[in-house]
Amino acid sequence: MVAGLGCGVYISNKVANLALPQLEARQKEIEAEIGEPLKWNPNPDNQDKIVVLDRAADLDDRGRWDEYISWLVARVDKFKKAFGPRVKDLNLTQHAELEP
């Protein structure tokens, strides 16, 4: 069975419209830290947003499971280091324009 493995950041629809643009503004530096291009919002019609890195994997081939696990562990670590501080710095409060 050929399937896929992936690592990503999930952004709930409650904050997606505020969070995703802020992260996208830092896309180049995030991808440089991770070392690979990411898929930014691959399902734009969904209210929830994701940033993901994935790859094909033959999960029936148990001989490759160690490779797959190593790949996942390395990517999770890179995602945490790249996204963690940036997510903490997000401004998720929507400022209403003051009426004159």
Location of structure tokens 């929830």: 48
| Residue 92 pLDDT > 70 | yes
Side chain identity, residue 54:
D
pLDDT tens digits for range 59-82:
999 999 999 999 999 999 999 999
Q: Does an H or E element contain 4, and which? A: strand 2-11
Query: What's the sign of the alpha-carbon dihedral 64, 68, 71, 73?
Result: negative
Rounded mean pLDDT of 54-63? 94
> CA-to-CA distance for 16 and 49, rounded, in angstroms?
6
Tokens of 83: 């996204």
User: Percent of the chain at pLDDT above 70?
Assistant: 92
pTM: 0.85
